[in-house]
Amino acid sequence: MQLKDERGMMAIGVALTLIVVLSLFGGVLWQYGMFELRRVQRAEADMQALFLARAGAEAVMGAWKKRLVVDDHGEKYAVPIGQMETLYYDLDNDQFTSEKPANYLGTIDVVVKKEEATDNGGDFFTVIEASARVGAASRTVRLVTLPHRYGHDPTLGWYTEETGEIQATVYTPRLEPVIMRTKEPRTPISFGKTALKVMRDLADRSEDRSEDRSLNFTASAIVFESPLQLMRDTDAVKDSPGGNFYLVLEAERIFLQDLEVAYLPLNEELILDWPDKYFSVVFEVPEQAGFLGSEIKGKVDDGKAGKVVDGARYGEVYFGSSVKWQNYRWYRYFILFIPVVEIRTAGAENLRQLENQAFFFRDGWSLIPRNKAELFNENNQLDVSGYIEKSINDGWLIPIKTDAQMSLEEFKDLRPFFWEQ
């Protein structure tokens, strides 16, 4: 073929240029396509690794929450802790397995450990750390528990850490566990004059001007690591306003160490009108919490299921080694024919039916009843043990079967887990 003019030569040059450019462009497109394909594959592998890591952590978390098992000797021990066996995701059977299958998506390594929450120690996080690998992609996630809140934390302010004096503060209830512990653990948590006056004033300003003054502590669970002694001594009782004061423990589970309520009846023989004063605890269940009666029938002592009210709501209370009813009385004497009235202790009664016992309580049960007539027997004598026995017989307190009880150690370790950001 013979070319006649320059236009033909130019056309050939353009054509060759186009061929080269298109070839280069095609190569670039191919390389870009392969790069994008690899990027998508890496992203997919990364997502699969993240899925496996989270799934592995959640699987171990489920085992952790049910971790107390009994060995052949009847002893409880905690699992899992430390490094877990490597897990594989079996694609053929769509499940996790500790044995390496022929066709698997990736591997997961999980470790359960404890880390100090602060530099000073004292509390700790439980950490579930899961690392998954799919091909060349790997992801690591962490599930952590947060330290329990304490009743003296600024967000609650239920009592002062130093003195244990209860405060009538305004707070936002959150359904999470709260630990009640003073700086010196044996210092009791008690009503103080300020809180009692606030409770009285609030009751006086209410529409019904009720003689019952109450203060609510609301949480999913309340754990007392310090004693709950509502009134410290006779001076505290004397300085307090007249009337009935109730500390309402509103929780699904309540663990008490030592408990002491205070009872000062009216003495009509005195010339002056000195009122009665009662300081008690009430056990209530937060809204949308607790257990329905139909849910606990299989967890109560044998022969007690008939005491359960199906539609009622119940919580659990675990009493400590000491449950005391402290009696006070008005006392009058004369100094140079001038009458002097004071308050003295009048003996304490240990409530043996409650000590070291675990009960389902029906919502609203009070250790000192609002209807004081319930405290007196048919001979019109104060009969505290009789009132407790009647509460048990009437189903306000129902003993929990031993194997359905939760120990304090078990409960404190069962903290909620959160994904670490």
pLDDT tens-digit map of 311-351: 999 999 999 999 999 998 888 777 877 877 788 888 889 99
By percentage, how much of the chain surpasses pLDDT 70? 81
- Domain end: 116, 147, 178, which one? 147
How far, in Å, CA of 51 to CA of 62, rounded?
16
Co-location of 211 and 227 in the same domain: yes
354 — phi, psi (to 5°)?
Answer: -105, -25
Q: What is the pTM of this model?
A: 0.71
Co-location of 131 and 74 in the same domain: yes
Identify the pLDDT of residue 209.
56
Is residue 294 within 8 A of residue 330, CB to CB? The reply is no
Name the most confidently modeled range: 198-202, 264-268, 286-290, 353-357. 353-357
Co-location of 215 and 277 in the same domain: yes
Read off the pLDDT of each residue in 201-227 and give the average, rounded to a whole number.
Answer: 81
Co-location of 390 and 243 in the same domain: yes
Range of the domain at 101: 68-147
How far apart, in Å, are the Cα atoms of 418 and each of 59, 146, 322? Answer: 14, 8, 37
Domain count across the chain: 2
pLDDT at 239 over 90: no
Co-location of 109 and 201 in the same domain: no
Co-location of 193 and 97 in the same domain: no
Q: Strand locations in 161-251, DSSP E?
A: 177-180, 212-218, 221-224, 228-229, 243-250
Co-location of 157 and 276 in the same domain: yes
Read off the pLDDT of each residue in 403-407 and give the average, rounded to a whole number.
Answer: 88
Name 306's Cβ contacts closer than 8 Å, sequence gap at least 6. Answer: none
Residue 43 within any structural domain of the chain: no
Name the most confidently modeled range: 83-87, 136-140, 183-187. 183-187
Co-location of 99 and 136 in the same domain: yes
pLDDT at 146 over 90: no
Residue 325 within any structural domain of the chain: yes
Residue 165 within any structural domain of the chain: yes
How far, in Å, CA of 120 to CA of 124, rounded?
10
Residue 377 within any structural domain of the chain: yes
Strands 68-70 and 358-362: unpaired
- Domain end: 89, 112, 147, which one? 147
Identify the pLDDT of residue 346.
87
Co-location of 245 and 321 in the same domain: yes
- Domain end: 147, 170, 185, which one? 147
Residue 111 within any structural domain of the chain: yes
Residue 180 within any structural domain of the chain: yes
Residue 40 within any structural domain of the chain: no
How many CB atoms are located within 10 Å of the residue 134 CB?
Answer: 24
Residue 4 within any structural domain of the chain: no
Co-location of 344 and 402 in the same domain: yes
Identify the pLDDT of residue 302.
87
Is residue 192 within 8 A of residue 162, CB to CB? The reply is no
Identify the pLDDT of residue 201.
83
Co-location of 98 and 237 in the same domain: no
Co-location of 156 and 275 in the same domain: yes
Identify the pLDDT of residue 1.
47
Identify the pLDDT of residue 148.
77
285: pLDDT confidence band, cut at 50, 70 and 90?
A: very high
